[in-house]
Amino acid sequence: MLLEAKDLRKRFGGLHAVGGVDLAVGEREIVGLIGPNGSGKSTLLSLLMGIHRMDGGTIRIGKTDITGWPPHKIARSGISMMFQHSRPLLQQTVLENVLLALLPDRMFNFRFSPELVTRARGILAQVQLAEAADRLPGELAFADLRRLELAKTLAAQPKLMLLDEPFAGLSAKEVREFSVLIRAMREEGRSVVLVDHNVKGVQALVDRMVAMSSGTKIADDRPDHVLADEQVRRVYLGSRESSAAVATAEVRSEPILEIADLSVQYGKATALDKVALTAQRGAVTAIVGLNGAGKSTLFHAVCRLVQSSGTIRFGGQAVADRPDQIARSGIVLCPEKRELFGDMTVFENLRMGGSHLAAPDFRQRLDFVETLFPRLAERSKQNARTLSGGEQQQLAIGRALMMKPKLLLIDEPTLGLAPVVLDLISETIERLRASGELSLFIAEQNVTFALRHANSIHLLEQGQIVWSGPTHRFADEVGHKVL
Amino acid sequence: MDDLTVSSPSPLRRLSVPTSGVAWLAVPCLIALPFVGISEYAIGIFTLGLFFAVYAMGWDLLFGYAGEPNFGATFLIGVGAYSAAMLNSNGIAPPWICILAGAAMSVAAGVLLALPALRLRGPYFGLVTLVAVLILRQLIILFSHQTGGEIGIAVPEVLALSPIANYEIALGCAIVSAGVFIIVARSPFGLILQAIGQDPLNAQAMGFSSVKYKLAAFCYSALFSGLAGALMTFYMGTASLNIFVDAAVGVQIIIAAIIGGRRTIIGPAIGGVFLIVLGEYMRPFGRLSELVVAVVALLVLLFLPNGLLGLVKLKRRAH
Amino acid sequence: MLTQLLISGFLISAIYALATTGFTLLYGVSGILNLAHGTTLATAGIVAWYVAGLTSFDPVQVILAGVTSGVVVGLLTYALIVRPIQRLLGLSETDEHVFMLVGTLLWTIILQEALANIFGDVPVSVPQFVSGVVNIFGVRTPISSLLVAAISWGLLGALWLYVGFTKSGRSLLAASINPRGLVLCGFNLALIHRVVWTIYGLLAGVAGVLIAMVHGVSPSGGLELTATAFSIVILGGLGSVTGSLIAANVIGYIETATAYLVGPSLRSLPSLIILVAVLYFRPQGLFGRR
């Protein structure tokens, strides 16, 4: 074994980000690390690189025990990491950025040897960036920037490469090209651990797949076995049985939200590409897709929290320009990160949501929310930051409901929640639908959950809508892609 | 794009403004400057400007490359200046020994200042450096018997009497500093320093231990700031709080660096001379002059955030 | 001696508390360290002094003049310095911090020189609102000083009521905890920032007048006031209003004790040393979060 990590543990406050994980990587092996958002994949990589101090466990590379080493020593022992969000030095050329990664850790070194420059050019050629060597990173396309990061990772001649989301933001064609590069590294005798949300994308590439959920390893096997594993399907894809049980009828009413030609750029990466969709009044609409597909970006664009181009109409009118105006006009977002006021009590959080209501209205609304979530009434005087994850989600939805939304956008309502809370959220969505006073638009990576509630579904892949239609047709027509 | 890099001696030609040709031309011009018939008064102003240029370059190495906002440049300068002045006024050592001792003391002060920089990030570090200046001031007042307190301390000896000789000394100091700073900034060391300044974690994951590089950057900055401070003390004939240990002077140094263009070394040097000359030019207007200089600096900050050399760089890139 | 120290410490602390609350509130809500703070105080004090000399002395008019100039300077700082820097493109986070500090320092110089040109760079004092002394435990204390302490704590009390019991006050608190959450609740952040700067100017205005009355102010004395405010705010924890109230008392007493026991010229040295120790060992301050 090249790498042997045993019983790795890391706590952030009360959260067990990684709770006792074993990971072994052999020579010339590509291991895929999968799992939903927040399952601890990236934290695990950081532990291997020494970026976070471990709370327990041991790591060996070859015969060397590197437990507790600082990152720069680990880097010199044969592990290198490609970060998900790393920025090149913008004032230096592509070549100089690679040269940096080739430099020895010596202070009195005032000259670049020609031999290093030759090596840097060689590495650039390897990732097909040779022509861009003398350009500045700012002039590169997004995919080429990722190639540059890969080149920097390669420069250290690592035995083991840790790649955090190497495919994020890449098109299908670019993903294929990158996969070829990664395979070539295995041919050179290196091993790779890569983290990705794009399960289908990595399935063909990896020799072995490790699935994580809530900080623990739940499967470690050949890719097809892992993807067939019942527990993996349940936490990552949603379980199959319940999906068959529900088929919600299509709603034919006038649209409450109409989106056309909506595009969003994050620097050079295209997050949304000419998205067009509608949500019907009185219905539950769902947008599904893998993490990173652009679901949150879509919601943020609707609420004008990010810059976008295209048109968004709400109830037949163009939406306002500022996020606060939009919130007051009836489109309320319950964001993935919840954005609660941590140092305020539950009641104070709800009161902030109901700030724009007159006193009698406020009372009535508070009753409504507290009936929906009796837990919030019990915890009324407790600080929001001390609530459990499920309670925080209830508070986030409750606070959004205090705004009397006409259209409620809920981003990942079930993310990281225990099954029991999930049922409660399910129930809430059905009760809100039954109340008839608002329309719902949910973004979910848990397709099963979406299928259970939505009247119509949109499937988002890498910033583009690839399928839209009523829920009952989803499983037959595109189910194979996500289920 | 044609491939010039193979033939060019350094692959880092873009790291600083590629002005080496202009620079080689500028050096003889600067040496000849006092002989072209300008007044002794003007020579004196340029002398001060050159010292200021060294301070601004030292600041730029710390902020532009290592990413450490040093609001206490005058802590380093002040330690150098006062060490030299105290040694000389007590008749302990001749001027040149005093100056070297001042520079050495300043390096020690640099290490002291680097310690919090290794623990604190950005604005917090900026505050510590600001406070360091205030504390040094208080200490100098507290030990006023040795330091001259608020009045200042007179230096009995001089390095040279003629303004031209003093100018050439200051110029020598500035050229040597600029040379060393540029070599350091363009070297592998400078590249690593920038990587650490931008993203320390990423730099560590690339195998660089950030502590020693940061410490070294503080030492380089302190060495030349202290040297220039000590030389300037002998030029002025006195070390006083309002010239050498003043937060406001520290801010002027930062302004000089920003006006000239951060991350270019040469830019801050130009900014330093410019600021002193502008201040002198405005002097007849009395207190109004400081107001005007501040307004000019603010306008540059808001409308030319990359400084004068930043403007040149943009133009070059456009071609 | 001890009672003397306790009483003058209390009076100084009250002003310090008032003078730093705006500063720390501003940091808490908008993340801006306003280095022009001391000069804003000085401006209010000097304008109040000027108005006091113009009219037959009327305390209400004098305070109003101070408050108005405080608010005007506060809003100008926001419009001329803070907003333009925030709008600059291509600045990294550290760049923006440094630009903000440098920008507010330049603003300090601009204000200071403008004041010196208009009013002259001499220390000025606002006349005492009331005359007479009372005897507290054997210490002769000017009634005016007691009034200053009363105004300070009264205003802080009013601020506390405002933040705790009004919608707009609560939104300030919420903005300091999670600005994004506040936008999602339908609040206009730009408006909230203008409100904060107005409140800041108001507090600084009153504090400036009171400082001008007790200590006297001068255009070039602004930076020193900023330094004191800084020590207090760092000690208390950036953005923690409660922390800075406590720290104001700590620093107030320490400075008074140093001035009495060691010498007035060194009054700020111990607090600076405490400040460095705090920054080094507990950079979030004694009461800061995070």
Is B205's CB within 8 Å of A70's CB? no
Q: Tell me the mean pLDDT in the region C82-103.
A: 86
**Residue A411, Cα to own-chain centre: how many angstroms?**
12
Q: Does A92 touch chain B (CB under 8 A)?
A: yes
* Residue bearing tokens 């290592």: B66
* ipTM confidence score: 0.85
* Domain map (residue ranges) of chain C: 2-219
Q: How far is C102 from chain A (nearest CA, A)?
A: 24
pLDDT bracket for residue C211 (50, 70, 90): very high
* Residue A154 sits in the same domain as residue A267: no
Structure tokens at C114: 């403008």
Output the pTM of the full model: 0.84
Q: What is the pLDDT of residues B9-51, one digit of tens each?
A: 344 444 444 456 677 788 888 888 888 888 999 999 999 999 9
Taking only the tens place, the pLDDT of each residue in B91-132 is 888 999 999 999 999 999 999 999 887 877 767 788 788 888
pLDDT score for A245: 42
Name B234's Cβ contacts closer than 8 Å, sequence gap at least 6.
B84, B88, B95, B98, B99, B155, B157, B158, B159
Instruction: Please give the sequence-ordered ranges of beta strands (E in DSSP) within A62-190, or none if there are none.
Output: 64-65, 79-82, 160-164
Q: Does C234 touch chain B (CB under 8 A)?
A: yes
Residue A248: predicted pLDDT: 66
**Would the CB atoms of C234 and B127 count as touching at under 8 Å?**
yes
On whether both A280 and A305 belong to a single domain, the answer is yes
CA angle A208/A212/A214 to nearest 5° reads 175
pLDDT value of position B19: 53
Q: Which residues pair with B29 in a beta bridge?
A: none
Query: How many residues would you count in chain A?
Result: 483
Give the model's pLDDT for residue A242: 45
Residue where a domain stops, chosen among A236, A254, A273: A236
**Owning domain of residue A423:** 238-482
Same domain, A297 and A371: yes
Q: What is the mean pLDDT of residues B248-276?
A: 91
Angle formed by the axes of helices C189-214 and C37-54, to 10°? 60
- Shared-domain flag, residues A446 and A397: yes
Closest residue on chain C to B128 (Cα):
C276
Helix (H) or strand (E) holding A18, with range, is strand A15-25
Element (H, E) at A232: helix A230-232
Q: Does residue A327 share a domain with residue A382? A: yes
Closest-CA residue to A86 (of A140, A158, A164, A197): A164
Residue among A287, A35, A310, A271 nearest A171 (CA): A271
What are the E-state strand segments in chain B? Answer: 153-154, 238-239
Distance CA C283, CA B51 (A): 34
Chain C: closest CA distance from residue B73 (Å): 14
Candidates B134, B151, B253, B311, partner chain C, best to mutate (most C CBs within 10 A): B134
Tell me which of A202, A217, A236 is where a domain ends: A236
Residues A56 and A137 in one domain: yes
Read off the CATH number of the domain in which A167 is found: 3.40.50.300
Nearest to A15 by CA among A397, A411, A416, A398: A416
- Residue A107 confidence (pLDDT): 84
A148 Cβ contact partners less than 8 Å away, ≥ 6 residues apart: A88, A94, A97, A98, A127, A129, A137, A140
> Whose CA is closest to A10, among A227, A199, A212, A300?
A212
Q: Does A76 lie in the same domain as A44?
A: yes
Residues A264 and A367 in one domain: yes
Set of chain A residues whose Cβ sits within 8 Å of the Cβ of B208: 72, 103, 105
Q: Do A229 and A219 meet the contact criterion of CB atoms below 8 Å apart?
A: yes
Claim to verify: residue A160 and residue A283 sit in the same structural domain: no
Confirm if A409 and A302 have CB atoms less than 8 A apart: yes
Is A215 in the same domain as A363?
Answer: no
* A268 plus A217 within the same structural domain: no
Which of A105-109, B88-92, C277-281 has the lowest average pLDDT? C277-281
CB of C170 within 8 Å of any CB in chain A? yes
CA A318 to chain centre: 30
Structural domain count of chain A: 2
Run of H or E including A391:
helix A389-402
Q: Give me the average pLDDT of each 10-residue run along chain A (483 residues).
A: 93 80 95 83 92 92 93 94 86 92 88 92 93 89 90 92 86 85 93 83 89 89 88 64 52 88 86 92 90 88 94 93 94 93 94 93 95 93 87 94 96 79 88 90 87 91 90 84 64
**B85: Cβ–Cβ under 8 A, 6 or more apart, which residues?**
B98, B153, B155, B233, B238, B239
Tokens 């579904």 found at: A457
Is the domain of A153 the same as that of A246? no
Distance of CA B94 to the CA centre of its chain: 25
The pLDDT, as a whole number, for residue B14 is 43
Phi, psi of B286 (to 5 degrees): 65, -140
Domain-terminating residue out of A217, A236, A255: A236
Q: Which residues of B are less than 8 Å from C272 in CB distance?
A: 131, 134-135, 138
- A290 vs A302, A480, C68, CA distance in Å? 19, 14, 56
Residue B62 CA to residue B71 CA, distance in Å, equals: 11
Q: Is A472 exposed, middle or buried (0-12, 13-18, 19+ CB in 10 A)?
A: middle
CB within 8 Å: A92 and B192: no
Q: Report pLDDT for A231.
A: 83
pLDDT of residue B3: 36
At A298, the amino acid letter reads: L
